[in-house]
Amino acid sequence: MSSTTTVSAVSLACALAASAALAAPINVAHLYGSATANQTYDTAYAANAIDNNNATRWVAPDHGTPWHPNWLVVDLGAPFPVEAIDLFWGQPGGYPGFTTVYSLFHGMDGANWSLIGSGTFVEGGDLNQISAQYPFSPDQSMRYVKYEVNGGSHWSSIAEIRVWSESQGTVPEPASLALLSAGLLGMVALRRRAVRF
Instruction: Convert the pLDDT of each residue in 46-81 to its tens digit.
Output: 999 999 999 999 999 999 999 999 999 999 999 999
d(CA 149, CA 135): 21
Interacting residues of 77 by C-beta distance below 8 A, sequence separation 6+: 32, 33, 34, 143
Q: On the CB side of 130, how many CA atoms lie within 13 Å of its CA?
A: 11
What angle, rounded to 10 degrees, do the helices at 3-23 and 174-196 form?
Answer: 140
Considering the four listed CATH numbers 3.30.70.2860, 3.75.10.10, 2.60.120.260, 3.30.70.360, the one that applies to the domain covering 25-168 is 2.60.120.260
Instruction: Convert the pLDDT of each residue in 13-31 to its tens digit.
Output: 544 454 544 568 999 999 9
Give residue 173's pLDDT band: very low, low, confident or very high (50, 70, 90): very low
Domain spans in the chain, listed from the N-terminal domain onward: 1-24+181-197, 25-168
